[in-house]
Amino acid sequence: MLADAGLPIVEATSFVSPRAIPQLSDASDVMAGLTHQTIHAIFCTGAQYQGMERAIAAGVRSIAVFTAASESFTMHNINSTIAESLTNFKPVVALAQQEGIPVRGYISTVFGCPIRER
């Protein structure tokens, strides 16, 4: 319905590890049910390379990777440090480039963090 409303990009799902977030284990099924060419999927670094392979197999036409400006948020959200998350981007972005898939990058918590720094 969002694509029908004219939105040029809809981030439909996330290809994360089903062990980490079981609610997103149906990401491939979600993508299979979408018919608009404007639908894009969000991809987070917690899934790393295996998630990217699943996204490609599901027909994803663009991806987004994200980290955060807060170490606490990054650890809480994707179970890695900021530096580790950036390292994890490299093979994912390389594979996306090899496949001709555009990549966007996001930085969460740039103006504050809901997770208390430890």
Residue 93 neighbours by CB under 8 Å, 6+ apart = 65, 103
The CATH code of the domain at 10-108 is 3.20.20.70
- d(C-alpha 63, C-alpha 81), whole Å: 21
Domain boundaries, the chain: 10-108
Beta bridge partners of 107: 67
pTM metric for this prediction: 0.79
Q: What is the pLDDT along the chain (118 residues), one digit of tens a residue?
A: 777 788 777 788 888 878 878 898 898 888 888 766 656 666 655 557 888 898 888 888 888 888 999 999 999 888 889 999 999 889 999 999 999 999 989 999 999 999 875 5
